[in-house]
Amino acid sequence: MESAKLLKAIIETAIDGIITIDNRGKIESLNPAAQKLFGYTLAEVIGKNISMLMPEPDRSGHDGYIERYQHTREKRIIGKGREVEGLRKDGSTFPFRLAVSEVKYEDRLIYTGFIHDLSKEKEAEQRLREYAAELEELVEERTKSLKKTVNALSEAKEEVSISLLKEKELNQMKSRFVSMASHEFRTPLSSVQLSSVLIEKYAEPFDNEHIKKHVGKIKSAVGNLTTILNDFLSLERLEAGKVEPAFTPFDLVKLSEEVTEEMQMIAKEDQNIIYQHTGVESIVKMDQNLLRNCMINLISNAIKYSGAHTFIEFNTEITGDSCIVTINDNGIGIPESDQKNLFQPFFRAHNTGNIPGTGLGLNIVLRYAKLMDGELHFESKLNKGAIFTLTFKNS
């Protein structure tokens, strides 16, 4: 008796639905969980065919299932489980997992169905399918977008390759032109320079100031053109990677004195270049030609951008571990707004006016200094001159 009560309590409180039918398919019991699932009360279903709880096609075929089993004893559901659909009182359907067992009780067969509602699981599966579909669609869209990006990058790469090829060809043409122009212009310029010297020489007995004045202009113009050609040729060689420093020992003081004497000849009226060396040593190991070019370029700038009746300080110093070259002028100075671009090729400060120049000199000096593992720095204020300092390791 106690066992029966316990069994009934278990059935009544079971989470899953439990239904029993006889051998003809008539409903004998329906626990509360099953009543809730199908929406029927016990009184509404007792004695009625279990097929009322099934949608088509199972509803029409259910009696045949029982009859076939009773004749063949071939188990298709009994002792097994499968997913089926149930039909609620309101006409809606829901999925559940059905397990059927066969019980012999008091000389008759009773079939018990255990019903586990799969609605939530199916809803979760549906959400997963929808999410997977959305994800797949998103991946497809992203893939298309990536393909477009890859195609665009491929096209851009091709365009860049073509542009680089054209730029390379243009650079080669530019290099050939600069080289050709430099060499082609040098001969006539040399002839003009020589002719101006001869005119000046032959005109001396006549003491004609007009001839001297115009000869001076010719020599100055030829000098400017020669400087421009030298700058372009130097830049072309630097761009082509043809400049390789040759480090050899030489006398820094001797070189500096030669440069001072040479540059004094082209200085303005009463413009003096004052050279001074600090240190007991005078021998350094660098590329003499590159250093000479740097000195000439910086002193030439000091001459150009300083007025007559001024002086230019040219100093060299050799310490234990460094060689320092300084050029200090009292010229027009460099505007603060222009200083950040001073070493850019072809850049000229806004206050240079009609003073001739290419804007290449300082860029060339900086690159020559770097080739010799050196540095170039400057200090300047507007109308207060400029100080340029070359610093090299003393090896």
What is the 3-class SS of 18-37, one letter each residue? Answer: EEEECCCCEEEEECHHHHHH
pLDDT category of residue 1 using cuts at 50, 70 and 90:
low
Compare 77 and 287 and report the one with higher pLDDT. Answer: 287
The DSSP output letter for 133 is: H
How many Cβ atoms are within 10 Å of 363's Cβ, its own excluded?
Answer: 20
Output the pLDDT for position 368: 94
Half-sphere exposure of 75 (CA within 13 A, CB side): 11
pLDDT at 224 over 70: no
pLDDT at 174 over 70: no
Q: Is the pTM of this model over 0.75?
A: no
pLDDT tens digit string along 255-292? 999 999 999 988 988 999 999 999 999 999 999 999 99
Query: Domain boundaries in the chain?
Result: 2-117, 123-236, 245-393
Q: Of 318, 350, 345, 317, give the one whose Cα is nearest residue 335.
A: 350
Mean of the per-residue pLDDT values of the chain:
86
Output the pLDDT for position 184: 67
Into which CATH architecture does domain 2-117 fall?
2-Layer Sandwich (3.30)
pLDDT at 51 over 70: yes
Output the pLDDT for position 314: 98
Q: Does domain 245-393 bear CATH number 3.30.565.10?
A: yes
The DSSP output letter for 308 is: S
Output the pLDDT for position 260: 96
pLDDT tens digit string along 52-69? 999 988 787 676 677 777
What CATH number has the domain spanning 123-236? Answer: 1.10.287
pLDDT tens digit string along 313-354? 999 999 988 999 999 999 999 999 999 999 998 899 999 988
Q: How far apart are CA 336 and CA 351, in angstroms?
A: 11
Output the pLDDT for position 243: 86
